[in-house]
Structure 1
Amino acid sequence: MSPAEEAPAPKTHDPEARGMRLVLVLLTLTVVSGLIDAVSYLGLGHVFTANMTGNVVVLGFAAAGAPGFSVPHTATSLGCFLLGAVTGGRLAARVGRGRRRRWTRLTLVGEAALVGVSAAVAFAWPHSTGTVYALIALTGYAMGLRNATVRKLGVADLTTTVLTMTLTGLASESRLGDGTGHRSPRRTASVIAMLAGACLGAWLVLHHGLGLPLAIAAAASAVLAVVASGRE
Structure 2
Amino acid sequence: MSRPVLLGFGLMLTALAGFVDAIGFIRLGGLYTSLMSGNTTQLAVAVGHGEGHTALLPLLLILAFLVGSVTGGAIAALAPERWATPAILAFEAVAVATAFVTARENLQLGTASLFLSLAMGAQNAVLAQVQGFRAGTTFVTGALFAFGQKVALALAGRGPRFGWVGDGLVWLSLLVGAVAGTLAHMRLGIEALAVPAGITGVLALWAGLHALRTGKPPEAIAARPSP
- The TM-score bracket by the shorter chain reads 0.7 to 0.9
Contact 1:45 1:70 in 2 (8 A): no
Q: Choose between structure 1 and 2 for higher RCO, CA contacts under 8 A separated by at least 6 residues.
A: 1
Counterpart of 1:63? Answer: 47
| Distance across 2 between alignment mates of 1:42 and 1:114 | 20
RMSD: 2.5
Q: Return the letter of the residue paired with 1:76.
A: L
Q: Percent identity?
A: 27
Look up the equivalent residue of 1:176 and give its one-letter code.
L
Give 2:90's aligned amino acid.
V
> For residue 196 of structure 1, what is the aligned residue in structure 2?
176
TM-score, normalised to structure 2, is 0.80
1:179 to 159, 164, 181: 159
> Does 2:19 correspond to 1:35?
yes
Aligned partner of residue 124 in structure 2, secondary structure: helix
CA 1:60 to 1:92, structure 2 compared with 1: closer, same or farther past 3 Å? same
The structure-2 alpha-carbon separation of the partners of 1:26 and 1:159, relative to structure 1 and needing over 3 Å to count, comes to closer
Which residue pairs with 1:170 in the alignment?
A: 147
Deviations 1:13-34 (A, max 9, x none): xxxx49x943221100111011
Counterpart position of 1:74: 58
Is residue 121 from structure 1 mapped to residue 102 from structure 2 by the alignment? yes
CA distance in 1, matches of 2:90, 2:78: 16
CA contact (8 A) 2:88 2:125 kept: no
Structure 2 SS opposite 1:90: helix
Structure 1 pair 159–226 and aligned structure 2 pair: CA distance change class (3 A): closer
Residue matched to 1:87: 71
The residue identity in structure 1 corresponding to 2:23 is V
Question: Which residue pairs with 2:112 in the alignment?
Answer: 135
Larger Rg: 1
SS of the aligned residue for 1:173 comes to helix
Cα deviation for residue 138 of structure 1 reads: 0.4
The aligned amino acid for 2:147 is L
Give structure 2 stretches of 5+ with no counterpart.
208-217, 223-227
Residues 48, 54 of structure 1: 8 Å contact kept: yes
Q: Distance in 1 between matches of 2:178 and 2:14?
A: 10
Shift of 1:53: 2.1
Contact 1:111 1:143 in 2 (8 A): yes
Q: Is the CA contact 1:121–1:135 (under 8 Å) kept in the aligned structure 2?
A: yes
Q: Does the 8 Å CA contact 1:111/1:221 hold for their aligned counterparts? A: yes
Structure 2 residue aligned with 1:217: 196
Question: Given residue 206 of structure 2, which amino acid in structure 1 is its aligned partner?
Answer: V
Q: Is the 8 Å Cα contact of residues 76 and 85 (structure 2) preserved in structure 1?
A: no
Partner amino acid, structure 2, of 1:154: Q
Q: In structure 2, do the counterparts of structure 1 residues 112 and 95 end up closer, same or farther at CA, with 3 Å as the change threshold?
A: same
**Preserved contact between residue 76 and residue 88 of structure 2 (Cα < 8 Å):** no
Shift of the alpha carbon at 1:55? 1.9
**2:88 aligns to what?**
107
Structure 2 letter corresponding to 1:107? I
Corresponding residue for 1:146?
123
Query: Which runs of no fewer than 5 residues in structure 1 stay unpaired?
Result: 1-16
Residues 45/216 of structure 1: CA separation in 2 closer, same or farther (3 Å cut): same
1:159 Cα deviation after fit: 4.9
**Which amino acid letter does the alignment assign opposite residue 191 of structure 1?**
W
The alpha-carbon distance between structure 1 residues 103 and 82, as it changes in their structure 2 partners (threshold 3 A), is: same
